[in-house]
Amino acid sequence: EAQVTQNPRYLITVTGKKLTVTCSQNMNHEYMSWYRQDPGLGLRQIYYSMNVEVTDKGDVPEGYKVSRKEKRNFPLILESPSPNQTSLYFCASSIRREETQYFGPGTRLLVL
Amino acid sequence: KNEVEQSPQNLTAQEGEFITINCSYSVGISALHWLQQHPGGGIVSLFMLSSGKKKHGRLIATINIQEKHSSLHITASHPRDSAVYICAFAHTGNQFYFGTGTSLTVIP
């Protein structure tokens, strides 16, 4: 089944404790992206990757890192999480930037 | 900055009504997407269009590139259409921008 998977789905952590949210797709897509969704602000892009080894900042990259060592995986790293990173996070992929995006199920993060 | 505006923010309709959701944007784009987010949170892509009109079942999406405007229409609305509808586009700088969404409730 073609899909985008994210793990974990739910996470409660404390300020400063490094964490990684994994994202994997099995559709051989070139373009992958991370978004966060907050009430009243909607979805905002954190980082995106046009293809392997090529990543770039989106609208709200501060406090996040990403890597794209393989086509299928695009992990999101929070080196020192803070409460303002409490949010709902989505990973998505598409064949190319302009094409239909497929979204993961979301990861709900609470930073205390 | 607010490159994309959606209206209305909230919409309540009776089952069977024709529904229109609007999206206006202010920058040059190559394609516009309509997304649906269900109450459980999952997001699915409904349409991706760069010109004209697309239809899928009871859903129709149109775009006017010159006027920088797109609409999503739902014919014969049904309670299962209740969701948040979001327009989005890829700006020429490779980033994606999203509207804040239209929350639709269809009452039986």
pLDDT tens for residues B57-102? Answer: 999 999 998 899 999 999 999 999 999 999 998 876 678 889 999 9
A52-109 pLDDT, tens per residue? 989 999 999 999 999 999 999 999 999 999 999 999 999 999 998 888 999 999 999 9
DSSP state at residue B19: E
Length of chain B: 108
Q: Are strands A4-7 and A54-57 parallel, antiparallel or unpaired?
A: unpaired
Question: Sign (positive/negative) of CA torsion A19, A24, A30, A36?
Answer: negative
- Rounded to whole angstroms, how far apart are CA atoms A36 and B19? 28
Chain B residues touching chain A at CB-CB below 8 Å? 30-31, 33, 35, 41-45, 48, 50, 86, 88, 90, 94-101
Whether B95 sits inside 8 A of A43 (CB atoms) is no
- Tokens 């784009």, located at residue: B29
Q: For residue B2, name the pLDDT band (cuts at 50, 70, 90).
A: low
Interface size A-B, in CB pairs within 8 Å, comes to: 53
Write out pLDDT tens, residues A19-47. 999 999 999 999 999 999 999 899 999 99
- Min Cα distance A25 → chain B (Å) is 15
How far does A93 lie from chain B, in Å, by closest CA?
A: 11
CA Rg value for chain B: 13
